[in-house]
Amino acid sequence: MRGIISAVSTAFSVLLFTSQPAASQDGDIDRLIERGRSVAIAGDCMACHRTAEADGKPYAGGYTISSPMGPIVAPNISPSKEFGIGNWTETQFVDAVRNGVSPGGYLYPAMPYTAYRGMTDQDAHALYVYLTKGTKPVDEAPQAKTDLPFPFNQRILMLGWNVLFNSAIPFQETAAAPGGHERGKYLVDTLAHCGACHTPRNLFMAENNDSYLAGGDVGGWHAPNITSDAVSGIGAWKNEEIVAYLKHGNAAGKSQAAGPMAEAVEHSFRHMPDTDLEAIATYLKTVPPVRAEGQTTPGFARSDAKAADLGQLDYGIDRDPKAMETGTSTNGEQLYVSACATCHQVNGKGTQDHFYPSLTNNRAVGGMTSNNLVMAVVDGVHRKTNDFTVQMPAFGEELSNAQIAAVSNYVLHRFGNEDLHVTEANVITLRNGGEKPLLVKATPWLMAGSVALAAIMLAASAFVWSRRRSRKHAAHEANPGDLQPLKR
Amino acid sequence: MNRRTVIGLGAVSLAATMLGLCPVTAFAQQEIDEAAFLALSQRLTGRNELNATISARALAALSAGDEAFLKTAMRLAQAIDQFGLTDMRRFRDFAAAHPDLSPAAMKIISAWYLGYTGTPEGEANHDDARFVSFAGALMYEPTIDVTIVPTYARGKTDYWVTPPASLASD
Amino acid sequence: MASQFDADVIVIGSGAIGTNAAHLLAQRGKSVIILEAGEWIPRWKIVENFRSSPRKNNLNDPYPNFPWGMSSFDEDYIENTGNFNYVPYQLQLVGGTTWHWAAATWRFLPNDMKMKSLYGVSNDWPMEYSELEPWYDLAERNLGVAGSDTDDQSGRSGPAHPPRSAPYPVPAEGETYYFQRLKARIGAEGYSFIHEPNGRTNKPYDGRPACSGNNNCMPVCPIGAMYSGDVHARHAEKAGAKIITDATAYKLEKGEGGKIIAVHYRSSTGADVRLTAKTFVVAANGIETPKLLLLSDVANSNDLVGRHLMDHSGISLIFTADEPLWPGRGQVQQGAIFKWRDGDFRGQHSAIKHAPHNNVPNRDVAELLLRQGVVGPELDERIRHMSARWVVIESMFETLPHATNRVTLSKTKKDALGIPTLSFNYDLDGDAYVERARDLCMDDYGNFVRAMGGTVINDKTGWQNHAHVMGTVMMGTDPKTSVTNHEGRTWDHDNLFLATTGVLPSSSVLNPTLAGIALGLRTADIIAREV
């Protein structure tokens, strides 16, 4: 297996070297670096390869990605020779980006190499030049280290996983370059790796392409359906609204970016040219619609708050000092009025300028899951835009889990999808990273059974899965040196 | 709430006339009840939509501070009906005719506008002040298009740098 | 050995000064216990307490008033014997009295710290401005202070002053239209308008959201944009400090060699606990700190504890302008008007700081109109007309330290825990230093009203104080005339430190909390090197 991968990398490097420009004049380098910077932005490398603290040195690593298997620390990818990628050859670099195999060993797919595998040769080259020549070396290693529990700490397992799940085919320059007819798809599938969050994962934590972009769960948050379905997806959004959402994290009256999507806006989308955002919007409108089972109303379309007695929302209290000191109430209405209505207003409509968003006409409140509502209350919202920084304070310390459930239920019932109900246990699960995938839950059992059995299961399901996947990718030209998915 | 609507409600005699069509006192009661107090409050504040919950709280607060209030308020309501006070611009005339009842009228109006009854002492904790409403206090309505009910946000940081749109007509 | 003590350092008081100091100590690896008489109260609950309060003028009303932790607005807690009724406003809950400040965070000018040598009145500080500057800087970063890097805060319209080693951590917020108009018209009369540095961050900072003008800094910021001591209570906890609530310290126990060996506290149920530590920091507010010292008979060998009480006593002006200014949009205050800020005149009379207030004026306006019997459509119209034009200027005067202006323990009253309550003697009438300033202030008021084409609503408010407590445990260079040295260390007990605005030996006209925090951080740094 290792032989196959090496062969592939060799094939790539041949390709790269032959496509490299003959003359490397300064102007060319500058242009390459500039292109590489754009690739890094669209690829959102900084989302992970940043420091643990905000505003640290670029690409220094140290940021911890909470994966269902455990915390994964993003490494230093600055051109530091000792601590970063300064000593990597372009072949090694491309091997890491596309195949998930770095000089130090196998990467975890927290690094979205299954998406980056589609990167054009020209972009991969530019990215290498940018990261090695266009950024400053940071000569220090992140303090934290990735330390996953057994068996996930056996990185060699990724070898088998890669054979099964890393099968994309690089885009061609003419189609994927700005203005190219596949630009939008290229950005969505490869650089911006939207599917990493928005496509649900299968049993083995690979993207389930039967539900391409139909919504997935990320560390307690829900990455919504962004297929063209008018009810469950973004089919009813105007292209300008999608662009505004990507650029500012705010499509007024529809949805606001929070959690990981706010980070994508902050580090990536807001820095991209409008033409690219438009290409993304246009492409998303062509993604086959996937309707969530039982959904008849778009999440953003619930526009009427339930009637409420304003005299009851403007209430008096027991002024006994003990009562005034005690903040343990689980009355959702009381909590809403005192903790939320200050900004979102008593009627839930937010402020006229949309700085504080409405809770009606809001996908986080009116959609098919309450995860994003609960997580916004727990973690708050932090989103840097080109104009200003949006911040909703986190209530995870001030309110108990039971209080968060109570206020969430009040909000769902009065402003959104009243069929949803949040329990205290739900809040605890979400704030601890969400429902654990079956693979993680089942691992002790699999281990008890035997690793061999697991391997058999892996192989068997992979056979079925990769047959499906091949249909999706039939449109791509096969690369002779690539790992071939099974074809009909 | 649009302030023009609010001011309009008070100023346009149509509204007052409508209020006048329904007498405040249907029966010859001794003490005012919640429904009659709400009707009386509507008359005194020139508003035909007042919140019944707040009204009940105002009545409770006013009568808790004054044993005779229920009866006084009933006499006030009857006097208003007899006087035919449908437009509060004529309140001075009414007050001159009923000096014994106008303080009760002012207490009711104050409760609705200020959102409390009694006299809060600035630097003491023991007084007869009682809560009626806050966000619903009528004193905020005339300016709600420009300023806020304190604590409730109006919008984005620094919105205050530019003057309100209504400035020229203020 | 650490096991001999309950903690390296016990900090008494969980307000802004105590928790900033405790946080620094915990960061330096010290074991720290913070004692707090009150409890944790979540912000939403205080907001609810405020909105449902029938006495919104009373800044303490949203906070619980217990028989064992009485509000200073409770007549059972405070008695007065002087010609001014002194009320100190302190709060007892985690985070302390900064729950209801307006977060004005001026730095004292270098000259403010040399009053005796420059102007022959008050006291010099036992340190240079430059020694405090790095701690001002840290305090500003801890609080996320927003300020102008170009204003001359001495009011002389010169280069930026006082000197700073770093820019403000947050830029100044935008000027309200109200302030712009006052500045344009009153500024033309020769008054300088200076942005007020403040702890009401206008961009997200340290987990706090940006201020969006909720106009309720006092008595509670509903969104936590404004800094309050609970921020560093949480930070201190995360850094390893332990906070014990419902713990009213009532006695510092003396041991051999002038050391303090233990603090005793009492819970609301009456249970007594004794805790030992290597070092004690009393950071219990400028009033409650001297109270604890007096109760314990410590640090008071020269009988100065509780004396020299200074506040920024002043007066205020209310008028309506001849144009709509629309106060109430934005934060409750945002700048100062200076004419009498610094100069030789300070040998003769107080410096003066005028602060235009920017509160939503509807309650004051409606109360006034209703008192006048205005009702009906006219009431609505006049509420709008007057609210648009309402101007409030609050003026603060520098006061001098007089030994007779003081706080003492009540000789007759005790609270529910059996601890004596407080008695104040605070005289303003007859104090020529402030009375001269009052006359000049009235001249300024005349100018303000004229410049704004105004109609006076009230310019005879009488004396008002601002709960800017200073001087009660003042620091100095001489053990005979001060309670602590420049470190905040009491002269009488070398392991007892005081971290409170009470150590300020001169008052200037500036809200003293930032100075108190900077001094507290400096004290914590000194302790961290010793224990």
Interface probe for C, chosen from A318, A319, A400 (most Cβ of C below 10 Å), is A319
With an 8 Å Cβ cutoff, are B153 and A388 in contact?
A: no
Residue-wise pLDDT tens digits, A64-75: 887 777 888 999
Smallest CA-to-CA distance from B109 within B94, B127, B90, B88 is with B88
Q: What percent of chain C has pLDDT over 70?
A: 99
Domain count for chain A, please give it.
Answer: 4
With an 8 Å Cβ cutoff, are C48 and A322 in contact?
A: no
C52, pLDDT greater than 50: yes
**Are C407 and C424 a contacting pair, CB within 8 Å?**
yes
Where residue B8 falls among pLDDT bands split at 50, 70, 90? very low
With an 8 Å Cβ cutoff, are B153 and A310 in contact?
A: no
Q: What share of chain C is helix, strand, coil (3-state, %, to 5)?
A: 30, 20, 50
Amino acid at position C120, single letter: G
Scanning B53-112 for CB atoms below 8 A from A yields: 53-57
Token couple for A321: 């000092």
With an 8 Å Cβ cutoff, are A338 and C44 in contact?
A: yes
> In the block, which residue shows the tokens 């105004």?
C454
Smallest CA-to-CA distance from A111 within A166, A170, A176, A171 is with A166
- Nearest-Cα residue of chain B relative to residue C62: B125
Residue-wise pLDDT tens digits, C364-417: 999 999 999 999 999 999 999 999 999 999 999 999 999 999 999 999 999 999
A470, pLDDT greater than 90: no
Q: Is A13 on the interface with B (CB under 8 A)?
A: no
* Non-local CB neighbours of A424 within 8 Å, separated by 6+ positions: A401, A402, A405
**Are C507 and C470 a contacting pair, CB within 8 Å?**
yes
C127, pLDDT greater than 90: yes
Q: Identify which has the larger pLDDT, A156 or A434.
A: A434
For the ranges A162-171, A306-315, C404-413, which has the lowest average pLDDT? Answer: A162-171
Residue-wise pLDDT tens digits, A248-269: 999 999 999 999 999 999 999 9
Domain that holds residue A242: 197-284
With an 8 Å Cβ cutoff, are C204 and A325 in contact?
A: no
With an 8 Å Cβ cutoff, are A309 and B53 in contact?
A: yes
For the ranges A148-162, A216-230, C12-26, C253-267, which has the lowest average pLDDT? Answer: A148-162
Interface probe for B, chosen from C379, C385, C463 (most Cβ of B below 10 Å), is C379
A484 assigned to some structural domain: no
**Are B141 and C385 a contacting pair, CB within 8 Å?**
no
Looking at residue A161, what is its pLDDT? 74
Q: What percent of chain A has pLDDT over 70?
A: 84
Told to judge if C468 belongs to the known catalytic residues of this protein, a careful annotator would answer yes
Q: Is A18 on the interface with B (CB under 8 A)?
A: no
Judging contacts by C-beta atoms under 8 Å, the chain C residues touching residue A337 are 48
Mean pLDDT on C175-196: 97
Do A8 and A88 lie in one domain? The reply is yes
Do A67 and A11 lie in one domain? The reply is yes
Where residue B125 falls among pLDDT bands split at 50, 70, 90? low
Judging contacts by C-beta atoms under 8 Å, the chain A residues touching residue B125 are none
Where residue A143 falls among pLDDT bands split at 50, 70, 90? confident
Looking at residue A448, what is its pLDDT? 54
Looking at residue A480, what is its pLDDT? 34
Do A106 and A201 lie in one domain? The reply is no
Integer Cα distance of B92 and B101 in angstroms: 12
The CATH number corresponding to C7-49+87-101+107-145+228-308+470-531 among 3.65.10.10, 3.50.50.60, 3.40.50.1820, 3.40.80.10 equals: 3.50.50.60
Judging contacts by C-beta atoms under 8 Å, the chain A residues touching residue B136 are 310-311, 314
Token couple for A141: 């290693």
Judging contacts by C-beta atoms under 8 Å, the chain B residues touching residue A341 are 152
Amino acid at position C114, single letter: K
With an 8 Å Cβ cutoff, are B153 and A313 in contact?
A: no
With an 8 Å Cβ cutoff, are A322 and C209 in contact?
A: no
Q: Classify strands A381-384 and A389-392 as parallel, antiparallel or unpaired.
A: antiparallel
* Non-local CB neighbours of A324 within 8 Å, separated by 6+ positions: A317, A318, C41, C45, C49, C62, C63, C64
DSSP strand E in A155-295: where?
A: 216-218, 221-223, 250-251, 255-256
Phi-psi region of B42 (alpha: psi -120 to 50; beta: other; left: phi over 0): alpha
Domain count for chain B, please give it.
Answer: 1
Looking at residue C259, what is its pLDDT? 97
With an 8 Å Cβ cutoff, are A317 and C52 in contact?
A: yes
Where residue C9 falls among pLDDT bands split at 50, 70, 90? very high
For the ranges A51-55, A80-84, C127-131, C173-177, which has the lowest average pLDDT? Answer: A51-55
Do A153 and A17 lie in one domain? The reply is yes
Looking at residue A21, what is its pLDDT? 45
Q: What share of chain B is helix, strand, coil (3-state, %, to 5)?
A: 55, 0, 45
Cis ω for the linkage preceding C479 (within 30 of 0): no
Looking at residue A148, what is its pLDDT? 78
Smallest CA-to-CA distance from C277 within C14, C500, C472, C25 is with C25
How many Å lie between the alpha carbon of B7 and the closest alpha carbon of chain C? 6
Annotated catalytic residue within C349, C468, C486, C493: C468
Mean pLDDT on A138-145: 89
Smallest CA-to-CA distance from C227 within C358, C139, C301, C159 is with C139
Looking at residue C409, what is its pLDDT? 98
Looking at residue C69, what is its pLDDT? 86
A263 assigned to some structural domain: yes
Do A205 and A316 lie in one domain? The reply is no
A472, pLDDT greater than 50: no
Looking at residue A461, what is its pLDDT? 43
A483 assigned to some structural domain: no
Looking at residue B26, what is its pLDDT? 52
Q: What percent of chain C has pLDDT over 90?
A: 96
Cα distances from A229 to residues A54, A174, A226, A281, C483, in angstroms, run 37, 29, 8, 13, 75
Smallest CA-to-CA distance from B133 within B153, B104, B113, B151 is with B113
* Non-local CB neighbours of A338 within 8 Å, separated by 6+ positions: C44, C45, C47, C48, C51
Do A398 and A336 lie in one domain? The reply is yes
Amino acid at position A103, single letter: P
Residue-wise pLDDT tens digits, B85-121: 999 999 999 999 999 999 999 999 999 999 999 999 8
Token couple for C58: 């009373």
Of A317, A321, A389, the CB nearest to C48: A317
Integer Cα distance of C127 and A348 in angstroms: 53
> In the block, which residue shows the tokens 């619930």?
A302
Boundary-marking domain end, from A257, A284, A311: A284
Please determine, for the modelled complex, whether the ipTM score is greater than 0.90: yes
Domain that holds residue B71: 3-169
Looking at residue A203, what is its pLDDT? 78
With an 8 Å Cβ cutoff, are C75 and B126 in contact?
A: yes
The four Cα atoms A243, A248, A254, A257 give a dihedral, to 10 degrees, of 120
Query: What is the residue-averaged pLDDT of chain C?
Result: 97
A13, pLDDT greater than 70: no
Looking at residue C518, what is its pLDDT? 98
Do A453 and A418 lie in one domain? The reply is no
Judging contacts by C-beta atoms under 8 Å, the chain A residues touching residue C53 are 319
Integer Cα distance of A219 and A258 in angstroms: 12
Residue-wise pLDDT tens digits, C476-511: 999 999 999 999 999 999 999 999 999 999 999 999
- Nearest-Cα residue of chain A relative to residue B116: A316
Where residue A456 falls among pLDDT bands split at 50, 70, 90? very low
**Are A126 and A44 a contacting pair, CB within 8 Å?**
no
**Are C304 and C418 a contacting pair, CB within 8 Å?**
no
Query: What is the residue-averaged pLDDT of chain A?
Result: 85
Smallest CA-to-CA distance from B136 within B154, B112, B153, B119 is with B112
Interface probe for C, chosen from A328, A333, A338 (most Cβ of C below 10 Å), is A338
Looking at residue A176, what is its pLDDT? 96
Instruction: For residue C356, give the DSSP letter.
Output: E
* Non-local CB neighbours of A126 within 8 Å, separated by 6+ positions: A32, A33, A35, A36, A39
Q: Where are the alpha helices (DSSP H) in A134-234?
A: 157-165, 173-176, 183-186, 195-198
How many Å lie between the alpha carbon of B94 and the closest alpha carbon of chain C? 12
Of C75, C222, C366, the CB nearest to B124: C75
Amino acid at position B5, single letter: T
Interface probe for C, chosen from B41, B106, B121, B123 (most Cβ of C below 10 Å), is B123
Judging contacts by C-beta atoms under 8 Å, the chain B residues touching residue A342 are 151-153
**Are A169 and A477 a contacting pair, CB within 8 Å?**
yes
Judging contacts by C-beta atoms under 8 Å, the chain B residues touching residue A313 are 135
**Are A151 and A469 a contacting pair, CB within 8 Å?**
no
Judging contacts by C-beta atoms under 8 Å, the chain C residues touching residue B167 are 324, 326
Cα Rg, chain B, nearest whole Å: 18
A449 assigned to some structural domain: yes
How many Å lie between the alpha carbon of B123 and the closest alpha carbon of chain C? 5
Q: Which chains are within 8 Å of B by 3+ CB pairs?
A: A, C
Q: Which chains are within 8 Å of C by 3+ CB pairs?
A: A, B
A214, pLDDT greater than 80: yes
With an 8 Å Cβ cutoff, are C203 and A389 in contact?
A: yes
User: Which sequence spans correspond to the domains of chain C?
Assistant: 7-49+87-101+107-145+228-308+470-531
Integer Cα distance of C308 and C426 in angstroms: 10
Mean pLDDT on C33-57: 97
Cα Rg, chain A, nearest whole Å: 24
Where residue C72 falls among pLDDT bands split at 50, 70, 90? confident
* Non-local CB neighbours of A383 within 8 Å, separated by 6+ positions: A249, A256, A257, A258, A262, A265, A266, A389, A390, A391
Hey, CA dihedral for C443, C449, C455, C459, is it positive or negative? Answer: negative
A442, pLDDT greater than 80: no
Do A247 and A349 lie in one domain? The reply is no
Mean pLDDT on B17-26: 49
Judging contacts by C-beta atoms under 8 Å, the chain B residues touching residue C174 are 157-158, 160-161
A202 assigned to some structural domain: yes
With an 8 Å Cβ cutoff, are B153 and A351 in contact?
A: yes
Looking at residue A69, what is its pLDDT? 76
Smallest CA-to-CA distance from C488 within C78, C126, C93, C40 is with C126
Integer Cα distance of A415 and A163 in angstroms: 47
**3-class DSSP state for residue C78?**
strand
Q: How many CB atoms lie within 10 A of CB A168?
A: 23
Of B136, B156, B159, the CB nearest to A314: B136
Interface probe for B, chosen from A309, A314, A337 (most Cβ of B below 10 Å), is A314
Where residue A206 falls among pLDDT bands split at 50, 70, 90? confident
Mean pLDDT on C409-427: 96
How many Å lie between the alpha carbon of A269 and the closest alpha carbon of chain B? 23
Do A29 and A163 lie in one domain? The reply is yes
Q: Is A424 on the interface with B (CB under 8 A)?
A: no
Looking at residue A434, what is its pLDDT? 86
**Are A49 and A141 a contacting pair, CB within 8 Å?**
no
Where residue C469 falls among pLDDT bands split at 50, 70, 90? very high
Of A321, A356, A397, the CB nearest to C64: A321
Integer Cα distance of A70 and A62 in angstroms: 15
Where residue A447 falls among pLDDT bands split at 50, 70, 90? low
